[in-house]
Amino acid sequence: MIRAAEACACPIEEVGPAMAVSCPGQFLLFMSILESFINGRCDLADPCNRIKSRDQLDDSYDFVVVGGGTAGAVVAARLSENPQWKVLLLEAGGDEPIQSAVPSWVTAYWGRNDTDWRYYTEPQEKKACLANGGICSWPRGKMLGGCSVINGMMYMRGHAADYDGWAVNGAEGWSWFDVLPHFLKSEDNKEIGSGVSSQYHTTGGLMPVQKFRYAPQFAHDVVSAAIELGYPPTSDLNGETITGFTIAQAMNDGGSRYSSARAFLRPAAHRENLHVLLNAMGSRVIIDPLEKKVTAVEYIKNGETKTVEVIKEAILSAGTLNSPQILLLSGVGPRETLDKFNIPTIQELPGVGQNLQNHVGVQLSFRLTKEPDVPVLNWATAMEYMLNRMGPMSGTGMSQLTGIVNSRYAPSGGRHPDIQFFFGGYYATCGDGVVPDDVKVKEITDKKEISISAISLHPRSRGYLTLQSVDPTQPPLMQPNYFYDEHELDVLVEAAQIAYKLANTTIMREKYGMTPTEGYGSECEGGGLSPTPEFFRCLAQHQTAPENHQVGTCKMGPRTDPMAVVDMQLRVHGIKGLRVADASIMPTVPSGNTAAPTIMIAERAAEFVTTRYQQAKRTPAELGNRFGHPSDSSANNENRPGGFGTYSQENKDDKLTDNETNKNHQWDQRWKPWDKNWHGWHEWQNKANSDWHKNNPQERSQRYYD
């Protein structure tokens, strides 16, 4: 470690495995030196707020959160805002590495056993990922922050039609109007008034949102090319204009990544009532078979299986692939699966592991014949980042660019687009440090290559997840059934055609000489400069873009839905004291990246729990603090964004929940996208809180035990 000239308030400790080893050998020397500099920067290391793993746990906790990923970090942090509650967070991995804070090193921790679950699907039977033998790779973060540490940080909520569809199809209380306040609760948007509107965004939350400090010129030129094709310019796909191409906002600040753990969990690191156990994999929930109530959580650490008692609730936030696995191992799921593995059935729920959905696409490759392949990362760009947190290392290259459009198969009206484009290239990931001069640049014969992944946002294919062993350390069996319904292939043919038209626009053709990469897709017939639809269908099946937006395996829905696993407050049907709070509860996948929707779900889950157990409608400051000092847990948090200032709003959750039984309740201050005079969600919250006395505690109790 090469320390910064300025002294840090706390000693810096190197956290996480080295990043440099993920680069090719010829870059190792420069990358090791650069990594040593990065590890010594106070703002990136954040030594005063790092999470410390608990050496000795208490015998019992009010709440045990299983999984410290994108959702779990939020849930644990929010619940620990009440100093009356003891909260334990179990995380299978370690703390997020210091180096993961560098935006350009976005993929550095993929494919590594210590930071990635390295999951692979079942063979796709000659339908998808054929270039890899039909097996698709699904990187999943294995550390505090989970996938929010290894994703592209793009802040996309999906569209209003996604959530209204949830509500119409049974997930009452989860319409766009219902979920918007919970998106806003976590958001601290740094660019309101500069391309984004306060009508759709807010400040004061724990997650900083803004564009990266650097984007390649090529990204800006792609936006111009899209305008040439007729797609409207937009600076915010989460705002009024939901189609078009833009350099997206991302979860970052100060030139560095903000994972959910960094944004939510680190500010809570010094709370005496929050315990975190790292490198401890939650394996099973212990349920009393007679009362069907959770009594403990089982976990594995250092090869030893242990249990911890649960007083109130266990919350599974292990993710779309691991939460259903834990339920199955706990005796909750399809009876035939449980019988097959000799697991006693505690609660038969046929939907556990079913309804697996994921975005899927085709990866296209293009060459920029007028752009020499000059490495983006060198000493000059490295120093730009080291000194000012600027330059290529402060962004994700072309990955921050996206486009959303309608295909001919999209719902009529244009308000539910079904195609998204992701881009790759111009990465400042690895380099040897050499800064080439103009003469050497002219001698470079290799040309830049760019990838475009065209994605189908509304997949109709449904897969499933099940056990392949009773050993919790073994991965589940994952069958996505890509292209089982050929609707996705039809959409991708049109999406690929749009991408080729984009490459042939004036600016792309004249300035960059952009052409399809020669030989790419040679296994498919009908390629070349004017490829046929059959070529694109074949290419989608060979060069599949499997994405990492898996959802749906613990579907949310009413009891009347035979495939529903959790109710609208995320309580597992038929089990007391157990909830699921992560992307697995989504009935259908949103039209975009899933990180922000997952954080929204976690915010709602924490509020549901808070509402259920809040004592005498009093604030934590009035209740006092059983664990630690009031100065840390109450006084300092009272006015903190997302802290106890929001704690007394628990009745808003009850009002939302009352929609399940009170069909005549009407909101007269509903937010509408077309209403330019909407005054903000805070007024709506205040109105909801003013009517708290109308809620019936007895009815809430009955709903909890349904």
Give the residue among 625, 674, 26 at the shortest CA–CA distance from 375: 26
Cα–Cα distance for residue pair 477/119, rounded to 1 Å: 9
Residue 78 falls in which region: left (phi positive, over 0), alpha (psi -120 to 50) or beta: alpha
CA dihedral 238, 244, 246, 250 (to 10 degrees): 30
Cβ neighbors of 481 (< 8 A, separation 6 or more) are 124, 356, 461, 462, 463, 464
Cα–Cα distance for residue pair 560/472, rounded to 1 Å: 31
Q: Residue 102 has which token pair? A: 């560098």
Cα–Cα distance for residue pair 403/423, rounded to 1 Å: 9
| SS3 category, 276 | strand
Neighbour-count burial of 530, counting CB atoms closer than 10 A to its CB (0-12 exposed, 13-18 middle, 19+ buried): exposed
Q: Which helix (H) or strand (E) holds 226?
A: helix 217-228
679 is catalytic: no
Q: Residue 451 has which token pair? A: 């990838």
Q: Residue 246 has which token pair? A: 């833009």
Output phi, psi for 664, to 5 deg. Answer: -90, -5
Q: Residue 532 has which token pair? A: 């046929």
Q: Please provide the distance, in angstroms rounded to a whole number, between the alpha carbons at the two ends of the chain.
A: 55
Cα–Cα distance for residue pair 412/445, rounded to 1 Å: 48
Q: Residue 567 has which token pair? A: 């109710």
Answer for the pair 162, 591: CB distance below 8 angstroms, yes or no. Answer: yes
| SS3 category, 34 | helix
Number of Cβ within 10 Å of residue 37's Cβ equals 17
| SS3 category, 261 | helix
Is the Cα torsion angle 461, 467, 468, 473 positive or negative in sign?
A: positive
Q: The tokens 């650490």 sit on which residue?
A: 301
Cα–Cα distance for residue pair 683/699, rounded to 1 Å: 27
Largest CA-CA distance found in the chain, in angstroms, rounded = 79
Cα–Cα distance for residue pair 465/635, rounded to 1 Å: 46
Q: The tokens 């509650």 sit on which residue?
A: 85
Q: The tokens 């486009």 sit on which residue?
A: 403
Cα–Cα distance for residue pair 154/54, rounded to 1 Å: 32
Number of Cβ within 10 Å of residue 29's Cβ equals 12
Q: Residue 621 has which token pair? A: 């400051």
Q: Residue 135 has which token pair? A: 């097996």
Q: Residue 464 has which token pair? A: 């499933």
Cβ neighbors of 599 (< 8 A, separation 6 or more) are 70, 71, 74, 186, 207, 260
Read out DSSP for 130-163? GGGTT--EE--B-BTTGGGGTS--B-----HHHH
Pinpoint the alpha helices (H) of 274-348: 323-329, 335-340
Work out the angle between the directed axes of helices 697-704 and 650-657 (0-180°, nearest 10): 70
Beta bridge partners of 478: 465
Cα–Cα distance for residue pair 465/589, rounded to 1 Å: 16
Q: Which of 549, 679, 682, 693 is catalytic?
A: 549
Q: Residue 96 has which token pair? A: 């997020």
- Known catalytic residues are 549
